[in-house]
Structure formats: structure tokens, C-alpha cells
């Protein structure tokens, strides 16, 4: 085989695969189900089954080698939810206390720890502890709940405790199938337990709801909890998710009520939204079911749920565009005519592709060495231009808008924008507009970042595109008429973006500093707190040197400043705040900032790890001032055996501080093993309660 000819013979038509990833899809039916994306409901269960079977696409990864060529040839109130969503009954006077760090005021987010100012509710493994927490000197466990399934998160709403998590329910299987295969199949399910905790020493289970499908996320608005679950839609006899309660078992909806969108997907799921009244046990559970791709990100306002999923360009469309825009302009007229004849034929696409390969190979092999080199260079240049030009078409984020009003759930609109979304903080609803920040690009194309403004029908009305070439969004925060974006590749640009005119977003200012922020939190209307990593320049690129806390002044929007920073530990230092905003505790009135962190270092000839909560005083005048740390690790003296110390206490996850909160002037830190109480002013230890 001539290694100089064979690989180059393919370069013009498969350079996209040579440079990266191509998606190979099972061809969807275009006769019955034209891709419109409009919201519809099925007319029957048979139509739903046919739709899933005929439009499911299968994606796999291929390189240029798979095509025959061989080598050589991805300002919300910081701690306050709705007042009616919490409350204690131990006394009429409830002390000042912190709540879960949430994104949207009035939209509570479930967590593993909650407090109502008198009691603390903690999930640890398969156990839930209710702690009489105030006053701290008299703190004690009042009761515990043991679960057979896997509890994941909880809400507290006055005297109602809501716990939910994952379980497996046996799916009905015909006896003949069980006899043939010898097993009963199981499907992931999500349970919602509601307890009456008026008597905290004796919680009473008053509601037990289970929905088929894996738990995705939840929110609580007023008295209503909204739970979202995803269940695979099997191609062979798809079964609508079922709801199980204490008194009945029923489908979440009828087939004719399932919403769908005529958008082919590689893995359809039934996405179910449940609405549960936490205060009225007799009110029927509300539900709505949609057939869509896998839900990837969620944003919830007081009135709407926004779910996102990804849509990728079909491989046939990609290759047809590549042939038309890259290959044809480089060919002589006679070869171009033959190419058109192949592509316009009625043959299957894979047959056309094979004939195109043969045509190009034959043409290329007749060229001189100089012509081959020139044509290859032109083809590579055009291919790079082509892939950068269609980057906004390759991957798109689909946005589903679903209105919620107590038990009423109703689909409202669908929209789409180029690129993918980082997390929930990349989305926001404000004054009737939906704002979203995305990134386009892959390892074979340039990365760009974009911001889109959509109206109430999810049509794009304003946009700001192609920010920070070669970088990706690391964090985003929308506060009123502004958006703050952090992108990163070598340094950390913080963009200040004006959204006062939703039709004309505008970059007001930009700050470049070392490191990056993975989470942004409002200090006040003119200052931001950033939590992320500090970096320095290394031989092979930026090197992370520790957890970075930054304070930004954005009062001068054209000239934002980093007014203070604090770096924890070395390159191996980490904090869960970078992935989970609920681990972040901040109270401006108390000048209090607490984050859990893990620090590794070399001691006595080997590496050890310390983990605990870093407690700061934070003010605009003095910036970050470390007050001290709180750890849940046992000291060596407290352990009988050295081996027990290092392997049972020193290294286990159960000792890691996951959450912190305050009640009055006491700081409570929580791990899987215990709850520890310290004075806020000097961190003097008050006591601890074992919960494992």
C-alpha cells in the first residue's frame, strides 16, 4: 500500500472524522414523523410505540480509521427561601438561622441537611436524624428514621418532613418471560415520603408516593414539592411510568397525554414531573409526562420549570454539508458532476458514501505529487473553516418550559440555542425573559461562548456570541439586569454583561486574573464572591496551586477589580463548593463565610489528607480573614490503635464536613459521622453529637 496516496485520497471527504468525532446514526423515519419539534400528544399507545421505534437514533464514535484509512496513510437571596416553607413549633420565638444556599428566592432546593431554627434534620447513609439543636449546650437526638431504600435529600416545611430518594420496584413481567429468563426485571424508582413531625420524637409517615424512574431533581415552592424522574422508554413495548401510593397503583398518565416533540434522539426517556402538597395529605398527586431526551440541566423559577437536553446534528446532514461546502468547490467540473449524480441518486446513504470514496480515490490518484499536496492543503484549510462555521449547528441545547401552579403542571414552550449548558447557574428567568449562557466547540474546533435571551415563547430575541475564543465557561451568575461569566484556559476573564435591553446584550467590562472561579455568589449588588482554583504558568500549561477565594468589585462595570483573594492549600486542595453550591455558607450581616475544604500534604515521609471547614470573616474593608478551622477527624490520642487511626478515622469519607449552618451565634458543621457545635465568635467547641 502506498502510504503517500491512500490517506490523502480520503482527506477531502473525511477530514472531519480525521480531526475528531463523527456520530453514526440509525436513519430515522422521515415519512411519518417529520422533524418539526412542535409539542404534540399521541393519539394512542400504538402510535407512541411506533414513534419510539421509528425515530430512535443510535450514536457511536468513529475515527477516520473506521472509514478505511490507517495510520501513516464537553441576585437570588443567598440563604433565604419562602418564609412559609420552614418554621419550628418548639417555641414562639425562633432564633436567627441560616438556610440552604439556593439560586432563586422562594424556590427551595432539597439537601442532605436542613434546619428550621430549632431542629436540625440530617441524612447520613440510610438514616435520618432529627436533632433538638437549640440551645446548643442541650442538643440531643430526638428520633431517627431508618430506610430500606436509599434516601438522598429532604425538605422541611413547618411540621412536615419530606424525604425522597431511589428504590427499585419489580416491573410486572409475564409468567412465560419469567419462566424463560428465570428472573423478574426491576426498574429504578423514586420515592417521596411525607412525615408529620409535630412530635419530633415520634415522626409519623402520612404520605408514601413512588414514581417509576430514576430521581433527577426537585424543588419546593410554598407547600408544594415538585419532583422530576427519568425512566427509559424501551423500544420494545414502552411502558408509561406508574405511580404507587398507599391506596392505589396507576399510570402517571394515559398514552394520549404523553407530550412529545418529533425530535429524533438516541435514548428516549419518559420525564415525569410530580406535584405533591406537603400540607394536605388527601390532595391527589399531580403529574405530567413527556417523551424527550435525557434531562441534563434544570432551572426553576416560581412559575416555571425549564428542562434542557442536547440535540446533535445528524451524521448524514453533516457529511452532505461537508461534501457540498468543502469537497465540491475543490473539484474540476467533470468530477463535480459525477459527485452530484451520486448524491442525487435514490440509493441508501451508505452506498452513496462508498461511491464518493471511490470517486475521490480515483481522482486523487491521477494527480501529480505537487497537485496532491496543494489540494490537500486547500482541503484542510476549507475543512477547518467549515467546522468552525457550523459549530453552532453541531450541538444545540433544547429548552422545555413547563408552567407550575400548585398541583397544575402544563407544557408551555420549546426553544433551542447553540452549544451546551454548564449548570443551573447558566440559566435565569427575569421580567418574562429567559437568559442562558452556552459554549460551542470541541477538541477539533475552537471554543466560543455565547449568551442568548429568549422571550416567553422561547424564541431568541437577543444574543451575544463568540466570547473568549479558545476558552470555556467555568461559572455564570445572573443578577437582575447583569450577567457575570467566567471563562478559562490560561487566565480567568470575568465578563460583566448588561442585559437591561434584552434585545441588545452588551459586554460592559472584563477582568483578567490568575486562576478561575467555578462558583459565583453575590456579596451585594456591586460585589461578587468567587470560589475556584488558583493557577500559575507551567511548562505544559496552567498548574493548579490551591483553592482560590476571590472578592470582586463590579461597581465600575467597565473596570471590574479583584479586591482580595485567599488561597487554601496546594495543588491537591479541593472544595465541594466547586460542584455543589449547597456546601457554601455565607451571611453578610454576620460577616461569615464557611466552606469545606480538603488539603493534602507530605508528613513524616508519606502523604496525608486533612479535611474540615474553613471559617472566615469577610468584609469589604478587610477582605478574607481566616478565623479558624473545624475538623471532624479524631486525633491519634482518641484512637486505641495507630492502624485504626489512619485507616478508620483519618481516611474515611464519613469524617468529611459536608455542610455547615448557624443557629443564633453557634456554628454547626455536619459530616456523616457527627454534628459538631462551635461558638461563632472564637470557634470554641461546645460539643458534638454522633449520628452514624
First to last CA, the chain: 67
Q: For residue 30, what pLDDT is reported?
A: 39
Q: What is the pLDDT of residues 603-641, one digit of tens each?
A: 545 566 889 999 999 999 999 999 999 999 876 555 555
| Confidence at 15, pLDDT banded by 50, 70, 90 | very low
DSSP 450-471: EEEEE-TT--EEEEEEEESTT-
**Contact yes or no for 470/446 (Cβ under 8 A):** yes
Q: What does the pLDDT average to over 578-583?
A: 98
Top mean-pLDDT range of 66-70, 71-75, 220-224, 379-383: 220-224
Q: Comparing C-alpha atoms, which of 310, 221, 192, 216 is closest to residue 272?
A: 216
Calculate the dihedral angle through the C-alpha atoms of 104, 106, 110, 111, rounding to the nearest 10 degrees.
Answer: 80
Q: Which residues pair with 163 in a beta bridge?
A: 154, 193
Q: Comparing C-alpha atoms, which of 535, 676, 531, 674 is closest to residue 616?
A: 531
Q: What does the pLDDT average to over 260-268?
A: 81
Q: For residue 235, what pLDDT is reported?
A: 78
Distance (Å, whole) CA 94 – CA 91: 7
Q: Is the pLDDT of residue 14 over 90?
A: no
Give me the count of residues in the chain. Answer: 692
Q: Comparing C-alpha atoms, which of 357, 444, 558 is closest to residue 63?
A: 444
Report the percentage of the chain scoring pLDDT > 90.
Answer: 63
Helices (H), 215-346: 315-322, 333-343
Q: For residue 329, what pLDDT is reported?
A: 92
Q: What does the pLDDT average to over 64-89?
A: 37
Pairing, β 269-277 against β 160-170 = unpaired
Q: Comparing C-alpha atoms, which of 418, 294, 314, 323 is closest to residue 59?
A: 314
Cα Rg of the chain, angstroms: 29
Q: For residue 4, what pLDDT is reported?
A: 39
Largest CA distance in the chain: 92
Distance (Å, whole) CA 414 – CA 38: 8
Question: What are 281's three cell numbers?
Answer: 395529605
Q: For residue 338, what pLDDT is reported?
A: 93
Question: What are 418's three cell numbers?
Answer: 447553540
**Contact yes or no for 450/440 (Cβ under 8 A):** yes
Pairing, β 623-631 against β 666-670 = unpaired
Task: Write out the H or E segment, with its range, that includes residue 480.
Answer: none
Give the lowest-confidence range in 275-279, 316-320, 561-565: 316-320
Q: For residue 388, what pLDDT is reported?
A: 85
Q: What does the pLDDT average to over 104-131?
A: 97
Q: Comparing C-alpha atoms, which of 331, 347, 349, 351 is closest to residue 339?
A: 331
Q: Is the pLDDT of residue 13 over 50?
A: no
Question: How many other CB atoms sit within 10 Å of the CB of residue 282?
Answer: 7
Three-state secondary-structure class, residue 43 = coil
Q: Kindly tell me the burial class for residue 71, based on how many C-beta atoms sit within 10 Å of its own C-beta (0-12, 13-18, 19 or more).
A: exposed
| Confidence at 649, pLDDT banded by 50, 70, 90 | very low
Q: Comparing C-alpha atoms, which of 444, 451, 493 is closest to residue 468?
A: 493
The pLDDT mean for the chain works out to 85
Give the lowest-confidence range in 83-97, 179-193, 578-592: 83-97
- Of residues 172 and 445, more confidence is placed in 445
Question: What are 189's three cell numbers?
Answer: 424508582
Structural domains present in the chain: 6-31+58-73+314-389 (no CATH), 83-294 (no CATH), 417-573 (2.130.10.10)
Give the lowest-confidence range in 58-67, 84-93, 541-550: 58-67
Q: What does the pLDDT average to over 530-557?
A: 92
Q: For residue 570, what pLDDT is reported?
A: 77
| Confidence at 92, pLDDT banded by 50, 70, 90 | low
Distance (Å, whole) CA 518 – CA 532: 5
Q: Is the pLDDT of residue 2 over 50?
A: no
Residue 142 half-sphere exposure toward CB, CA atoms < 13 A: 20
Q: What is the pLDDT of residues 343-388, one digit of tens each?
A: 999 988 888 888 988 998 899 899 999 998 998 899 888 888 888 8
Q: Which residues pair with 404 in a beta bridge?
A: 409
Sole residue written with cell 471563562 = 487
**Contact yes or no for 587/77 (Cβ under 8 A):** no
Q: For residue 91, what pLDDT is reported?
A: 52
Q: Comparing C-alpha atoms, which of 533, 529, 542, 595 is closest to residue 570?
A: 533
Q: What does the pLDDT average to over 459-480?
A: 96
Q: Is the pLDDT of residue 584 over 90?
A: yes
Q: What is the pLDDT of residues 126-183, one digit of tens each?
A: 999 999 999 999 999 999 999 999 999 999 999 999 999 988 765 544 444 444 445 5
DSSP 589-643: TTTEEEEEEEEEEEETTEEEEEEEEEEEEEETTTEEEEEEEEE-PPPGGGSSSHH
Q: Is the pLDDT of residue 403 over 70?
A: yes
Top mean-pLDDT range of 12-26, 296-310, 338-352: 296-310
Phi/psi of residue 109, each to 5°?
Answer: -115, 135
- Of residues 565 and 65, more confidence is placed in 565
Q: How far is CA 183 from CA 232, 279, 534, 582, 665, in A?
A: 20, 40, 53, 41, 57
The pTM for the full model equals: 0.87
Distance (Å, whole) CA 647 – CA 365: 66
Amino acid at each position: 500500500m502506498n502510504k503517500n496516496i491512500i490517506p490523502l485520497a480520503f482527506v477531502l471527504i473525511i477530514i472531519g472524522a480525521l480531526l475528531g468525532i463523527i456520530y453514526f446514526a440509525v436513519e430515522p423515519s422521515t415519512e411519518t414523523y417529520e422533524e418539526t419539534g412542535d409539542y404534540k400528544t399521541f393519539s394512542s399507545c400504538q402510535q407512541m410505540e411506533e414513534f419510539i421505534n421509528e425515530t430512535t437514533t443510535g450514536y457511536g464514535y468513529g475515527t477516520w480509521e473506521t472509514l478505511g484509512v490507517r495510520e501513516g496513510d464537553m441576585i437570588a437571596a443567598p440563604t433565604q427561601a419562602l418564609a412559609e416553607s420552614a418554621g419550628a413549633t418548639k417555641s414562639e420565638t425562633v432564633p436567627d438561622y441560616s438556610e440552604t444556599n439556593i439560586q432563586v428566592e422562594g424556590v427551595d432546593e432539597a439537601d442532605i441537611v436542613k434546619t428550621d431554627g430549632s431542629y436540625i434534620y440530617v441524612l447520613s447513609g440510610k438514616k435520618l436524624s432529627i436533632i433538638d439543636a437549640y440551645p446548643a449546650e442541650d442538643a440531643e437526638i430526638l428520633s431517627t428514621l431508618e430506610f430500606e431504600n436509599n434516601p438522598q435529600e429532604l425538605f422541611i416545611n413547618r411540621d412536615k418532613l419530606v424525604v425522597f430518594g431511589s428504590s427499585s420496584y419489580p416491573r410486572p413481567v409475564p409468567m412465560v418471560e419469567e419462566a424463560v429468563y428465570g428472573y423478574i426485571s426491576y426498574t429504578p424508582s423514586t420515592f417521596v415520603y411525607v412525615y408529620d413531625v409535630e412530635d419530633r420524637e415520634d415522626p409519623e409517615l402520612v404520605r408514601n408516593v413512588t414514581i417509576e424512574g430514576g430521581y433527577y431533581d426537585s424543588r419546593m415552592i410554598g407547600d408544594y414539592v415538585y419532583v422530576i424522574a427519568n425512566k427509559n422508554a424501551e423500544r420494545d413495548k414502552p411502558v408509561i411510568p406508574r405511580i404507587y401510593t398507599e391506596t392505589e397503583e396507576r399510570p402517571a398518565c394515559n398514552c394520549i397525554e404523553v407530550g412529545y416533540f418529533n425530535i429524533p434522539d438516541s435514548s428516549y426517556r419518559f420525564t415525569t414531573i410530580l406535584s405533591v402538597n406537603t400540607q394536605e395529605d388527601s390532595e391527589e398527586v399531580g403529574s405530567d409526562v413527556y417523551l424527550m431526551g435525557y434531562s441534563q440541566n434544570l432551572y426553576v423559577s416560581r412559575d416555571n420549570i425549564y428542562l434542557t437536553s442536547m440535540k446533535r446534528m445528524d451524521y448524514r446532514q453533516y457529511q452532505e454539508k461537508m461534501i457540498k461546502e468543502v469537497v465540491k468547490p475543490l473539484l474540476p467540473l467533470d468530477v463535480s458532476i459525477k459527485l452530484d449524480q451520486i448524491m442525487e441518486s435514490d440509493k441508501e446513504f451508505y452506498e452513496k458514501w462508498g461511491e464518493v470514496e471511490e470517486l475521490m480515490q480515483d481522482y486523487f490518484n491521477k494527480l501529480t505529487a505537487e497537485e496532491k499536496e496543494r489540494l490537500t492543503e486547500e482541503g484542510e484549510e476549507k475543512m477547518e473553516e467549515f467546522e468552525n462555521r457550523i459549530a453552532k449547528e453541531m450541538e444545540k441545547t433544547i429548552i422545555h418550559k413547563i408552567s407550575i401552579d400548585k398541583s397544575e403542571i402544563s407544557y408551555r414552550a420549546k426553544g433551542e440555542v447553540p452549544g451546551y449548558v454548564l449548570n443551573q447557574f447558566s440559566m435565569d428567568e427575569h421580567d418574562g425573559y429567559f437568559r442562558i449562557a452556552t459554549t460551542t466547540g470541541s477538541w477539533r474546533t475552537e471554543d466560543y461562548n455565547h449568551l442568548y435571551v429568549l422571550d416567553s415563547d422561547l424564541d431568541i430575541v437577543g444574543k451575544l456570541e463568540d466570547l473568549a475564543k479558545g476558552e470555556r465557561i467555568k461559572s455564570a451568575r445572573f443578577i437582575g439586569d447583569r450577567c457575570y461569566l467566567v471563562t478559562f484556559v490560561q487566565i480567568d476573564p470575568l465578563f460583566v454583561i448588561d442585559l437591561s435591553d434584552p434585545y441588545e446584550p452588551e459586554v460592559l467590562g472584563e477582568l483578567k486574573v490568575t486562576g478561575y472561579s467555578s462558583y459565583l455568589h453575590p456579596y451585594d449588588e456591586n460585589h461578587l464572591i468567587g470560589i475556584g482554583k488558583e493557577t500559575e504558568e507551567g511548562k505544559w500549561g496552567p498548574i493548579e496551586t490551591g483553592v482560590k477565594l476571590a472578592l470582586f468589585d463590579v461597581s465600575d462595570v467597565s473596570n471590574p477589580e479583584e479586591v482580595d483573594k485567599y488561597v487554601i492549600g496546594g495543588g491537591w486542595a479541593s472544595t465541594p463548593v466547586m460542584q455543589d453550591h449547597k456546601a457554601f455558607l455565607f451571611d453578610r450581616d454576620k460577616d461569615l463565610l464557611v466552606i469545606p475544604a480538603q488539603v493534602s500534604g507530605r508528613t513524616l515521609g508519606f502523604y496525608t489528607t486533612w479535611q474540615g471547614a474553613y471559617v472566615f470573616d469577610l468584609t469589604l474593608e478587610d477582605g478574607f480573614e481566616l478565623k479558624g478551622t473545624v475538623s471532624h477527624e479524631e486525633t491519634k490520642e482518641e484512637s486505641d490503635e495507630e492502624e485504626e487511626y489512619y485507616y478508620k478515622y483519618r481516611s474515611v469519607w464519613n469524617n468529611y464536613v459536608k455542610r455547615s449552618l448557624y443557629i443564633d451565634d453557634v456554628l454547626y458543621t455536619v459530616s456523616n459521622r457527627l454534628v459538631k457545635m462551635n461558638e461563632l465568635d472564637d470557634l470554641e467547641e461546645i460539643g458534638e453529637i454522633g449520628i452514624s
